Structure formats: C-alpha cells, structure tokens
Amino acid sequence: MLTAELVKAFWAHMQNEFGSSVEQKNDSALMEAVAGFLEMLSIQDKETFLKDFVTTLGRTIYIPFELGADDPRWPLWNQVRVCVHEHQHIVQGEREGWAVFDSRYLTSSSFRAGYEAEAYGCDMEMEWWHTGQIFDIAGRAAGLKAYGCSAEDIAQAEQALTIRAGVLTQGGVSNLASLEAIAWLEANVTGLRIA
Amino acid sequence: MRPMIALILSCLTLHGLLCVVLAVGCGSPCLQVKTTRCNGSLVELCGSNKKWQRVMDCAEVKAIRPGAPTTWTCAETAKGCICIPKGGK
C-alpha cells in the first residue's frame, strides 16, 4: 500500500536515477513566465498550466502539489504516475539533445504530440502494471487538445499509443522511466499491483 | 541556466533562430501521414508534420510479467510496423 513516505522515497529514487530535481510550481517566477510564454504560443492557457499540470524544464520538475500530501486533486498513486511521466521527458531530452527536444516541443504541435504520446505511454504502462487495464487511448490522446494539438496530431498520438498497447498487453514495457519505476515499486511497495 | 530558457534566449540571435529552424525543420520527411516503418529496432510513425517520429525502441522492451517475451524486434505486419517478440510472426 502506498504511503506518504513511500511516495517521497519513490520520487527521491527517480530523482537520483535520472538526475532530476523538484520545485514547487506556485513558488516559481520562472513558471509564471513560462505560463505567459505558452499562452502566447497558444499551446496552453496560463491558469490551466499553473494549476493542473506538472511541468518539466530540463532536469527540473515543477509540481503543483506537495509530495506525499493527502490532496484530492493529486492522490498518491497519481503522484507516482506523474513522476514517471515527467521523468520520461527527461529521458527524451537526454536522448535527443535538449536544444532539439525543447525547440521541437515548443514550436511543432506534431512533435509535441509525439513526445507526449511517449510519456502517456508511461501512464499506460504504469496503469497496466497497477490494474491490468489499458486506459481509454482515444480519450487520453484527446487530452492533447489542451497542449495546442490539432485533430491530426491527436490521431497521430492515438496511433502511437495503440502500437505501444499491443506490446504492453503481451507483458512488454519499453519506456525507461516506467521500467525503473516498476522495478522500485516491486521491490519496495506491497499490494500495489492489483492485477 | 535552464535549457528551455537558454533556448528562448538563443532565439534572440540569428544563429539561435537558425538552430531552432534546423531542429524543427529537419528530420526525415515522409509522404503519407500515419504510415509506419522500422528503422533498425525503432518503430517510427509518419507524423502529422510529415516527419518520421519515433514511437518506441523494440530493443528496449523488457518483460514485466512472467512468461512474457524477453526480446523484441521491429517487423512489418498486417497492422503496420510494430514490435513483435523475436522469433514471433
């Protein structure tokens, strides 16, 4: 069963493995500036960005909740899942080079959909590990509208998630952040894998 | 300095702008959106921007269930190019 201490320990492990740090989003002047920038590019409105989304810039993850806190908007499992999602963005930045990753993410809704689909893949992998269920792929991909993605971008993300689901239902996981997370959770948390 | 902020500042210079244009504009072009291909062990998808985009690396797939296949490869199937277990069809 997940506890506040386990969630904190999990985040600490992932930070150590991927070289990331965590900051509170609502304390960050940088996040305020980025929110304005994203709104200017029509990627996401300012309020939604600041309150509803965890954001990763480089190796820093900005969170709108307190780690391990009993928050109805961010239950403990969601805090675990979003940790994995954001660390996959760090994997992407390291893999492609930060300049390429950042510029493509910011200026191309198609590339942005591709990167998010890969990180949504972490959500799918973690949910499947946890419950044995594949989430609603079309519904999740549709969430990319909030990222300034078009219907064509969303269809692209849906297809990418469908390809990944085909591997997952055979017991295969490919995202490095998911693999690290699952290994730690299986070693340290009992009763979390329901399926 | 945060990489994204550095990127934004770099856009203020012609050189920085060129770097951004190259990063976004380059990438392998593809003809038909939603087609897939194998690029070594990578599954790639023709994105809505008509650039090949990585979906997943079959070589990185690990089994998380007992009895699940342990090694995977990218292969062309009736469903398009996907990861399949090595030795599978």
DSSP letter, residue B13: S
Per-residue tens of pLDDT for chain B, all 89 residues: 344 444 444 444 555 555 555 556 667 899 999 999 999 999 999 999 999 999 999 999 999 999 999 999 999 999 999 999 997 64
Residue B47: which of A57, A110, A174 has the nearest Cβ?
A110
A29-38: list long-range contacts, CB under 8 Å, 24+ apart: A30/A57, A30/B2, A30/B5, A31/A55, A31/A62, A34/B4, A37/B8
* Extents of the domains making up chain A: 4-182
The amino acid at A45 = D
- CB contact under 8 Å between B63 and A172, yes or no, is yes
Per the CB < 8 Å rule, is B4 touching A57? Answer: yes
Flag if B47 and A173 touch (Cβ within 8 Å). no
10 Å Cβ neighbour count for A178?
28
Adjacent-strand bridge partners of B75? B82
Which residues are within 8 A (CB) of B12 and not within 5 positions of it... i.e. 6 or more apart? none
Contact B53 A114 (CB under 8 A): yes
* A180 lies within 8 A of chain B by CB: no
Q: Which of A9-23, A31-45, B38-52 has the lowest mean pLDDT?
A: A31-45
CB contact under 8 A, A171 and B82: no
Q: Is the pLDDT of residue A148 over 50?
A: yes
Given this model, what pLDDT does residue A89 score? 98
Q: Which of A99, A108, A171 sits opposite B49 (nearest CB)?
A: A108
* Element holding B54 (H helix, E strand): strand B52-57
CB < 8 Å to B5, chain A: 30, 57
Minimum Cα–Cα distance from A99: chain B residue: B7
Greatest C-alpha distance within chain A: 45
pLDDT at A21 over 90: yes
